[in-house]
Structure 1
Amino acid sequence: MNVQEKINSFKEALSVFGVNENTLTEQEKKDLDEKGFVVFENLIDEKWLKELQEKYNDLVEIEGAEAGTEVHQEAGTRRLSNLMNKGEVFDGCYTHPKVLASIYHIIKRDFKVSAMNGRDAVKGHGLQALHEDWNDSFFEEGVMEKDGDYRNPDDPFNVAISLWMLDDFKEDNGATRVVPGTHLKKAPQFYLKDRMADHPEQVLVTGKAGTVAVMNSHLWHGGTNNLTGESRRVLHPYYVAREFKQQQDQRQYITKETYDRISPAARYLLDVEGAF
């Protein structure tokens, strides 16, 4: 198929990026179904990894106090946002076939890119409350249930995320913690009084630089403290079922330069067709 042709369906877009029924192994699918996450080692080759590391550092330096403001800033971390508009080097992150196949396996219907952010906790910081990435604002500390939308265990999954490790994720430098299987439950606010505390069943998602993890975003998860001060840069291409709003309105932020550079299939994933 000519990638310059207009994309008319979600399945067409996935096909352009090489996603098919054999993109994931049966074990990878099982991990997503049962644990709620899967880890792909060495998904980023050495050259690309170096380019991503350098671009990340350049953006942090250039943007300074404004870094991350398009979506979110967080005390004790270096945050970046709107990365799909900040360099060709990021194009392959939100379009990688292994990632897209995993996201589709989780959400099981048409989806779109919600945002692509970066995060790097500095020494002594990075601990987050266990949470899911779905309407977390409907909950408050100490409140077990509040009016508003939240996902029930029998509802479809709406969000999923990938973690592109630009540095080694270690047990002591702020690796992400997850509680396997909790994507099959309600949000942690319904069960836990102290979401900052260690959970008896939590595990740390560790890996060498170049590793990519894909996670059901309804899985209970959160960052941990960076005890060593070693760099722990990560990119977060984040996806949402196509009927919902994006975390970052891609049509509002898309630049003409980006729009002209990327393929119609990528425009479809960003939901920006016809923006120019």
Structure 2
Amino acid sequence: MKNIIVLFSLFLFISCKKEEKRVANLQAEKILDEKYQNLYGNWVGDFIVLEADSLVDESDYVYSNKLNLIIKKIDNNKAFGQSVVAGNSRPLSGIFSEKNGEYSFILYEPGKNNDDGKFTFKIINDTIKGIWIANDKKNKVLSRKFVLTKQAFKYNPNLMLPEDTEYVDWYSEKLDTLKEVIDDEEVTYFEETYRTASDVITKLNASTTLLKEEDIKNLKKLELEIIRNTIFARHGYSFKKKSFRQFFDPVDWYIPVTDDISRELTSIEQKNIVLLNRFQKYAEDNYDSFGR
């Protein structure tokens, strides 16, 4: 009986020590998290080509995309986060260090995708500056630079595209054949034209208003596309198509945070998407010429 009591007492002692250690570790983690809490969140800015394959045509890649580099956790010398850009959402993990008020990171994407790479950056005076280097040396874009600032994301159904902007789909180039008589001779030449959208896209809000057929029946295809995709942009959807990113990346309020918003759409938005898709299927486009 005495041996049983001794063993039980020893068990309790060891259990208490383990619990004390666990609580101490949790407290240490909390203190660490609180210390770096101001670093956590969305860091947003332009993701600009630094070096590209010289044999690849510039039209095969986008010179600048909007990048959201998310810092989620710092644990001693380790850091974890996520990169969201151009329709890709990739987990990040790597090394963290702090010296003289500067925070340095080397974070790696998993390496399973062709476009995965390594982010090396510093946080100095509330600004991130760094470079990304592709893992695949045969990638079209070998490296990009970025300057990012902290920007919180919150869904706001009232957000609209700016009115003082020309909305042209620069990826929809079409050559029109034109003929003109010069000095009694007919001359044939070609003119580049592009799909355009009117300012209706800055006025119709498909997140707050249940649209009717008469609201959109006379709209062009591009206008329907932009109105529909503005719904997705409000939810922080990261667009894979270059033709959509050109409209939303320059907008201040747009932050790409996810590649899946299917569960976030409101009832009004879901109904409007169905209606817009139905009309978009049969809509036509107008093309205009522009000096670039």
TM-score by length of 1: 0.24
* Larger-gyration structure (1/2): 2
Structure having the larger proportion of residues in strand: 2
